[in-house]
Structure 1
């Protein structure tokens, strides 16, 4: 079983390295559906997993100067309080309770479907934004929208561990279309570090992190991410995103039914 977890970590890491998305949206359903891990423990373990891997990515982006820290602060203003509130709600109603586990299972499915929408329609949404510059938010309205987006993402991530990747990056592109792809990736990863860390700490408090599982996943994922990053330029991005979207759609359907 140990090697199975390591292989799963490697496979997810490989996809994340090649596409930039899919960490939570693949890992959490994989743990739930394939390995029979309870939804709450799957979410908690994946959040701890994400906080560690994204910390390494943030360091790289910081040295490359591809993090917009002003945007990170606005996102965190919404995301971090939302993560704390969501954790307290889970605590109040019993995070390890079977009924809450079912709610989390449906939340995972919904977040996966949102990720699919972000993957499939991101280019069209970006094209629309560039074609209608007068619709772009400015000043206080933009700051407020960023904080609200952070709150939505903070809630999604805490409950389902999904949302910080593809959904977060898509919202960044829509709100800040002048950011370069590298800045979008760097900013998206940077704000996700404190968010996933706080959410993971909350799940640790709730007792919903499997530390042995976490270590075995990391053993597989770190070389997987490295290899995937090396292969990223050799495999067509459109093909990878279509494959990922199809896989995630199947996962969401399986989670619901």
Structure 2
């Protein structure tokens, strides 16, 4: 039992590192926003969605909901702070209509989150029932967020080009999903197992597509896309994403 717990902690720590990398991957985009003093055509949707996703996983990892999940809390707590930082930059450099959209979405998320918390704490007694409710909600959100990578993969197949599906991002998503899948298997946790199993599968398919279409990709017009990539989320997401590479990143599923 002790060795299994140690292995689980090690895997969880590695997962925190990989997930942190994914959360930080959009930094270049926001640096460009700060530098340009404008969000231009950039959309905040994937980051708004990730805020609620992280908040739900933080709540799921609380000891009174799902005990022994501190590593789920740490990475999603960090992710929540990072996503709010991104949205703060967006808010500062956007016009009022875009700011209003962000405010409305965040308020809706806050109300939804508050309802889940109240229902969980007031009407459910015991960690088993609480884990089930919150875990199912988290699974639904993660599955919905996978719609973005599907969009990117469809684009790759259609264009026979992997230009907008960065290899290292796909590799990181695969490693992240596989790592947290392992974490969920060491001490069976179906609510972590399902979304991260899907995440690992999604990452694997992306890598297969990359290997399949790498040689048919036209890299000659890369320079023409540099400016565009600086003004759009790397996702068309989750993200959006997608192009969104960023969006895929955010999908961290823990």
TM-score (norm 2): 0.37
Larger helix fraction of residues = 1
Report which structure shows greater RCO (CA 8 Å, sep ≥6). 1
